[in-house]
Amino acid sequence: MTGTWPFVGREAQLEQLRGLLAGTASSAGLVVSGAAGLGKTRLLAEARSTAEAARSHAVSLAATAATQDLPFGMFSTLLPRDRSTPRDLLGSDRLDLLLATADRLCAQAGKRRLVLLVDDVNFADQGSVALIHHLAMQRQAVLLLAVRTGEQLPDALHLLWRQGSLEWIELAALLSEEVTTLLEKALGGAIESRSALRLAEASGGNPLYLRELVRAGQAQGALACEGGVWSLSRLPQLPTPLADILRERLRGLSAAEREVVALVGSGEPVELGLVVAVLGAQAVERAEAQGLVSLVTAERRAYLRLAHPLYGELLRGEPGQLRLLRLRRELAEAMVATGLRRRGDVLRLALAQADGVLDVDAGIQLEGIREASAAFDHDLVLRLGRAAQQAGGGFEAGHAIAEAYAWKGDGHRAEEAFAALQSQAGDDAQRGIAARNRAGNLFFGLGRTRAAYQVIEEACQTIGDPHWTAELGLLRAGIAICSGHAMQALEFGALVLGDGGTERLELHQMPGLVSTLTALGNTEAAIMAGEAAVAPLEHASREYPYLIATTKVALSEAYMLHGELAKAQELATSGYREALNGCADGLRGQWALAAGRAAVATGRLATAARSCREAALLLGQHGTLLGPCGRIEALGWLAVAQAIRGDVSGARQALADAQATHCEDAFVVATGLGRTWLAAAQGDLPEARRVAHTVAQEAAELGDGAYEALAWHAVTRLGGQAHERLTELAAMCPSPMHDAYACHAQALANADAAGLESAVEQFDRLGATLLAAEASAAAAALYERLGSKGNAIVASLRTQARLEACALKHSPALSALAVGAIPELTQRERETVDLALSGMSNAAIAARLVLSVRTVESHLHNAYTKLGIGSREELTRLLSERG
């Protein structure tokens, strides 16, 4: 990636400059201070553009060490050179030269405001400093001066700051949200959240460091775009320019201080007392005083972290690794001597053993594996599993390795490992574990549904322990519901758990139970079951970290289909944030899918597309309890969102990617709906209705009442007849959403304007803004045909407001219902009309909106023209005729 990067995160500083240019500020200028790479030079460049846009005369200068000993060296290109200037001015009368240069600058500016932008002003020679000081004191120029943090501002300019003539701005590192914005502008596309966060953390929010990391990531293949989303598979090796900058920062450190940085970087955070025990308090204190390490507290203990994460990356590639290995051994031995009392001590010890710092103990490795699994660190589980296996960890170590492959999304390696594990199983418990996890990987990892069922069937014939046959039956039910077979899942679930079900089985049943009840259309029961399961699952979350999240994802789907869209969105947002903070990328994919579903339901289609793209990426890269069907569903909802937004090629590509994702015997409603809306977006409404009709029938055959209703409602939205079946489903599977579907369909079938208004109100209460807009547009069209122009105007205005909330101007459903063009009033025009509708006079409207009466009259005239009426009187008459 080459060229200038986008400018992000410094708008406040530019706004201060605008205030100076406008004369609203009391100071003569700004001093911008910041560490190297934070963007001081770039800010000056943007400030120059801002000044020139404000019709000011901008002069950019840069002081350097090379010109520091030359009088007025920084202004050398601006010094007077005409023959009327005595040559000895350069050597004798500097005051005259200063005044002459100042006059020349002012003459060049003419009547425009002079803006002087100086980079690295700390290097300015005394003559240049005096000239800048003179211009400021005479108020002949606005100053913008940049200085690196830690460097001294020249005395004369520092005096200006103390006197209040200069304002001081300390540039901070970019926030993580600003880093994401910068990355997406630079890359030209969305970046998945964890990748953005990793780059923000690695760069420390420094734009220069970030740019170099991105360039290195692209060059090394670590940063790539897949399915329209950029993702970072690993941090790239430090590029030479960035490594040189960091080396300069560490230059001059004593050997002891470098060892502090290296030791902390080898496994941060590290308890302060342990580092002091190994390297001594003096070295640690000096490293902290120089800003190389920082002190943090957690659980009433003090820990050390690197002040910048890239210091550790740099030192890991430097000489002295044998010395570092010895220091790590001493640190580990000191930790063992304390009794491994702190949270994470066992994991740190296991990692030290796996790295060859200490002899490997299989028991410690297995304990570390459990902690790493709870933290979703599957790469670490794999490392520790291999170490445990070499140390004689047996079946449990082999199981950890196989599971790590599965959760990492490497289903083929996981299948090899689980197959080998099955042959090593020595009792029913081990046979049950191996069969359960192998079957799970076959379906959730590879999409091989039939092979998964076969493994379960064969295991149940050889295992005598009823606990394990019950657990395998439960897995069979989970596979059925994930592949879209609701009635089959219900049958499997009912056969597995009776009165003798253990607490463990009951917990494992929860995600499938909530999903099955939801699919069957009993969303109220699903919500009750899901909400009741949250507390016990959270209590057991350390042992079963995936169950609570997967159950909550199922609960979010139940909320969405029931009509509690705000709850669905809130749960998805909080779950996504928790998974992001916990580095659980597979779970984050599940939550992105939940957020995408909810966004489609509310009509926020751009948001839905972003969430579904990220979900498809993450669910394709990591093992989850949704399996390939989760990725297929994400792509299906992406196709729906893109088609309704009018992006036909995007919808087509999403469906092609879904078709290329392998999962045997799966029925995923979202892909059928994607095909439906793609056909509608292409103008083939009969085909769109046919596809939606087929999807609804297939859902009915599989017992999927909730999604059957969704498909039949799509038929209705596209001009088909489905009111009778939707009314039946509303009675069979009661929910606010089903009631609204039925009301909408009945009103369309009966050409009932009042019924459409009722549907609008119901959809509005649920937060289904796009559906409310479609119902309102249908009402407007019906009122127009009935000759009720006043009602048509009001309905049209409300339709436009709802479409704008969805960032849409039209939709395929409006075309299907032969709804004409919705009048596109500007926001101000709509505000004035709404106030006019309430009976306010033009003068009162002007006072309310802080406008002139003439401006209000102009807005109303424009609005009336678009609405096809001639005056306020006609509008009043039409409204008085509303039924």
Q: Give the C-alpha distances (Å, rounded to integers) separating 836 from 776, 798, 869.
A: 21, 15, 14
Distance from CA of residue 544 to its chain's centroid? 26
Higher pLDDT, 517 or 872: 517
Provide CB contacts within 8 A for 239, sequence distance 6+: 212, 213, 215, 216, 219
pLDDT (mean) for 780-805: 85
Write out the two tokens for 381: 């589980």
Higher pLDDT, 495 or 282: 282
- Whether 818 shows a pLDDT value over 60: the answer reads no
pLDDT (mean) for 571-578: 95
Q: Give the C-alpha distances (Å, rounded to integers) separating 157 from 44, 133, 432.
A: 18, 6, 77
- Whether 16 shows a pLDDT value over 60: the answer reads yes
Write out the two tokens for 373: 């699994």
pLDDT (mean) for 297-304: 85
Rounded to whole angstroms, how far apart are CA atoms 666 and 483?
4
Q: What kind and span of H or E run contains 746? A: helix 736-749
pTM above 0.85, yes or no: no
Strands across the sheet with 142-148, in order? 57-62, 114-119, 142-148, 29-34, 166-170
Which tens digits make up the pLDDT trace of 207-218?
A: 999 999 999 999
- Please tell me the predicted confidence (pLDDT) of residue 81: 59
Residues across the chain: 883
First to last CA, the chain: 63
DSSP state for residue 522 in the 8-state scheme: -
Cα-flanking dihedrals φ and ψ of residue 595, to 5°? -65, -40
- Please tell me the predicted confidence (pLDDT) of residue 84: 47
- Please tell me the predicted confidence (pLDDT) of residue 89: 41
Rounded to whole angstroms, how far apart are CA atoms 463 and 467?
10
- Listed in sequence order, the DSSP H helices in 497-604 are 503-519, 523-539, 545-562, 565-581, 585-602
CB atoms within 10 A of CB 579: 23
Which tens digits make up the pLDDT trace of 665-677?
A: 999 999 999 999 9
pLDDT (mean) for 787-802: 83
Which tens digits make up the pLDDT trace of 215-243?
A: 999 999 999 999 899 999 999 998 988 88
- Whether 90 shows a pLDDT value over 50: the answer reads no
Rounded to whole angstroms, how far apart are CA atoms 638 and 656?
12
Query: What whole-number percentage of the chain has pLDDT above 70?
Result: 94
pLDDT (mean) for 569-579: 95
Higher pLDDT, 254 or 827: 254
- Please tell me the predicted confidence (pLDDT) of residue 861: 77
Residue 459: name the closest of 504, 413, 415, 428 by CA: 428
Question: Which phi-psi region, left, alpha or beta, contains residue 731 (left: φ > 0; alpha: ψ -120 to 50)?
Answer: alpha
Rounded to whole angstroms, how far apart are CA atoms 615 and 633?
9
- Whether 883 shows a pLDDT value over 60: the answer reads no
Strands 270-271 vs 301-306: parallel, antiparallel or unpaired: antiparallel
- Please tell me the predicted confidence (pLDDT) of residue 819: 56
Rounded to whole angstroms, how far apart are CA atoms 829 and 425?
75
Higher pLDDT, 484 or 498: 484
Which tens digits make up the pLDDT trace of 456-495?
A: 999 999 999 988 988 898 899 999 999 999 988 888 874 4
